[in-house]
Amino acid sequence: MNCSKKMRIAGRTILVVLLLLTAACSDKTESAARDPASMFTAAADNESGISAERIAREVVGYTLDVGPAAGQTPSVEWTFDADEERHVKILEEQKTGDGMAITVFMMTRSNPDKDKVVLELSGKLKIQYQRLDARWVLKNIENLSLRYALGIST
């Protein structure tokens, strides 16, 4: 068997393995792509009862310094607006004395006029809640890896 034939067989084998891996992962990926609401974690799925939907609402008004996903573009100050769409997935919860640190993955984008550039953000945030009386109050948001990229206005 010559070298060229061996390379074709190896290439086909790698392609088959990649297709099998893609097929195994596609159910979850396709359902999330079809239904953005599936990015949310229900309140019953976490210890504190703080839901992804609640976090998406309560970050409104908070400002973070957000760097670019790529390139030498400068960081921007991002203030979460009430009218922007946000998708939040709770990744981890950790008790901290009288509080709770919740790590989330968030995706959001700006809602600019047609003449402005769209910014798309995605990445991890650490949301700090404190227990006051019988309720959880958002105290701080730490940017772990939230970055922006220039999008296309549609």
Tell me the pLDDT tens digit for each residue of 139-150.
999 999 999 998
Query: For the structural domain made of 37-151, what CATH number should be given?
Result: 3.10.450
Question: For residues 138 and 101, is the Cβ–Cβ distance under 8 A?
Answer: no
Q: Rounded to the nearest 5 degrees, what angle is found at the Cα of 144, between the Cα atoms of 54 and 21?
A: 85
Tell me the pLDDT tens digit for each residue of 63-95.
999 999 987 888 999 999 999 999 999 999 999
Question: Whole-model pTM above 0.75?
Answer: no
| Nearest to 34, CA basis, from 45, 42, 26 | 26
pLDDT value at 103 more than 70: yes
User: What pLDDT sits at residue 116?
Assistant: 77
